[in-house]
Structure 1
Amino acid sequence: MLLVATDLGAALTAVLLAAPGWGWALVLGVAMIGIRVAARLYRRRLWLSYYHDLPRSITSAAATFGLVAALAVVLGEHDSAIRAIGVTVGLFFLIGALPRAAVFQISRWARRRFGRGERTIVLGTGSLGVDLARSMLDMPEFGLLPTGFIDPSPPAHGTDLPLPLLTGTLDEAITAERTGVVVLAYTNATDAQIVDAAITAHSRGATILTVPRMWELYSDSADIERLRGYPLVRLATAPTERPSWWIKRGLDSLLAAIALVLLSPMLVAAAIAVVAESGRPILFRQDRVGLDGRIFPLLKLRSMRPVDEVESQTRWNIAGDPRIGPVGRVLRRTSIDELPQLWNILRGDMSLVGPRPERPGFVAEFSQVHDRYWARHRVPAGLTGLAQVNGLRGDTSIADRCRYDNYYIANWSLWLDLKIILLTTREVVRSGQH
């Protein structure tokens, strides 16, 4: 935040000195800050170095001038306006240089003097993990405060650990140690163990830094930190920890409320049809597993005659069941039976987009059989999902669904949600035409 405040002050000063006009001042301010955001100049980092960021900062300034000057040319502005744009960008870069370097210097000093760093667990007690832990202790200016090791394999006999070996699972240790960062430095672990550890840390909201295999060949980038020459790849934070997730939640509530209002005539007509075909109840409630394994009652319009609770929770698929009448078949084919889940979304049980929720019994069964099925519950369940728009509905491969769902979580963005909603709309329209 200090870097953002520094650049905002530099932008305001540059605009006042160069006087490009208030219209262009606004455009320049948005472009200067926006391009620096896109260039990852405000990212979290271990290595606080002005010179390390200098090439990226120069490139951002050049891109800002090129973009805004091109806009000025298109709009037919005079050379004087383009010169003013150039002067503003140049002043912004020069004015912000010293305060930015000072922010880095003060931050490094504060980390050393006051121990301002994030509590860190190191996974791995081999030479790599031990060396990294000692580096963190010797160089607190990198902002990592190691609290202990975790390793499924006992350390080699005679290994001198600079920190205690923590007991219990990683999940338990993150909570007990109030951990903000997990460093993956296994030397003998399998790929599956490393991935499972990363997903666990991810689901607990911890920052994940991992030493890549063949780390000697890695060059610097915005996602790679350096600790005494070791490259540490910073993995993306959990979707639920990002500011854009709150936008998703707000849009979920807004769109679900609007959809319930607009679709209320259809829901009333469907409810009347259900009663006419097979009586009450209109809604069908079924326990499903959502975010962090929490169970919630999922709502549907009933598409067949009532069944007992045991069948509801244990029968996998009712396609072709003779109890499904004409109304039920239409509701299922057009997915109208799923519309009451808009209320689940409004309540916060679900999201518009996410992994489809499953019943507790099947979650327990699939988690034993399919790799990382449990990891789907890192985000709320969805009315539709990436697996469903790729044809994985009904009696289809659970392994494929799991793979798509975990891909969705790892690559989540607001754009991916919009894409899935558009694809879902296309599929619903197509099904209604048959």
Structure 2
Amino acid sequence: MIKDNQKLLNRLHVVIDALVIIFSYTAAWYLRFKSGIFELDPWFLSLQEYMKALLIIVPGYLILYYAFQLYTPKRVQGRRYEAWHIIQANTIGLMAYILILYLTKQSDFSRTMFFVFFCVNVFSEVTVRNIIREGLRNMRKKGYNQKHILLIGYSRAAEQYIDRILSNPEWGYIVRGILADNKPRGTEYRGIKVLGRVENLTIILPQNKLDEIAITLGLAEYHKLEHIVSMCEKSGVHTKFIPDYNNIIPTKPYTEDLLGLPVINIRHVPLSNALNAFSKRCVDLFGAIVALILFSPVMAVVSVIIKATSPGPLIFRQERIGLQNKPFPMYKFRSMVVQDAASEKAKWTVQNDPRVTPIGKFIRKTSIDELPQLFNVLKGDMSLVGPRPERPQFVEKFREEIPRYMVKHQVRPGLTGWAQVNGYRGDTSIRKRIEHDLYYIENWTLGFDFKILFLTFFKGFVNKNAY
């Protein structure tokens, strides 16, 4: 049933895309020639003449959309990646069409109109697809268009997979149960029961009531993997493998083809690429300069208040560990009374800490005390976005207690980060913070940075855990 629904949805999606392309093309013609926004040529081709080009544009763009995987299921596909693929497909479409006009010497067609078409079509496609996405998610929340899944193997991977499915009902997944040899029948996790042993697959698969099988074997049972995959492929049921070593490999592992032998690299850090690092550094420099200009009045006022209300230096310098485990002095507006180094290193700041000054409570709560770190960004010690740096004594503590903790030092620390915009700041779970930091490191893109900076304005400035 799901397969039939997906085919129908894909066909409907193609028709909708074709209509969106025609609408965007027509709207671009009116904006170019009838709106008065652009200077009008003494003569221009009629709409009917332009519409003839749609015989090439519509099928060409639909093929590009297919090539950029815009007709894959939307259950867990991210909005950001879908929007990026739409932009890529439209960019190639625009370049190809302008090239065709040049080669065929069609000087009567307005190039400006095609740039307008590009903008209108990207906006329209992203809008329509998000409307469709929300409609499908609302349907799935209400119990329609569900995908029935059976898990093979009881492991940490099975529990984590169930956690995510139950936390996201809009995906439309229903876990029918688990087949496992390492747990007795009736064992339950969050309402999902172990139905029997793995060999029961030979009875369940012929019933053809499953849409998908997820293999979630524990590491000790991987010798069964080949046999299970063989059974699943004979049934024709879509099968996926969820490894029980996600705490070892990254979420997007970098794989190599060694003459037909797949090789998985344990750690892939996009920022180890020189071009990626250069791009991020350019954004850091530009962003830090703009931010210093915008926030200079706030910084000036805070500086005056700090000096007037509390004796001591304006800027507090604290040693933190940064890129490649190198220490650097991190700058903050001083929010505490002056204390000796031993007292300062002894403990975290706690709620109602007597060391915090009255103005210090406000600037810590609103993150204004972090603004001098923009100078750290200019110096190259920090980035606008990245894992927050820790003091040396806590680095030594966490590196022994938390697996993969030191991976965070493969990139520059940041003013804000993925952990911070998800609420993991101050006195919160350090393990959750590291999980989010590692996800950021392994999945970095400039778009991801811009998303975090955008979310920081809504979630990152006011910190309920800052004392």
TM-score normalized by structure 2? 0.46
Q: TM-score, normalized by length of structure 1?
A: 0.50
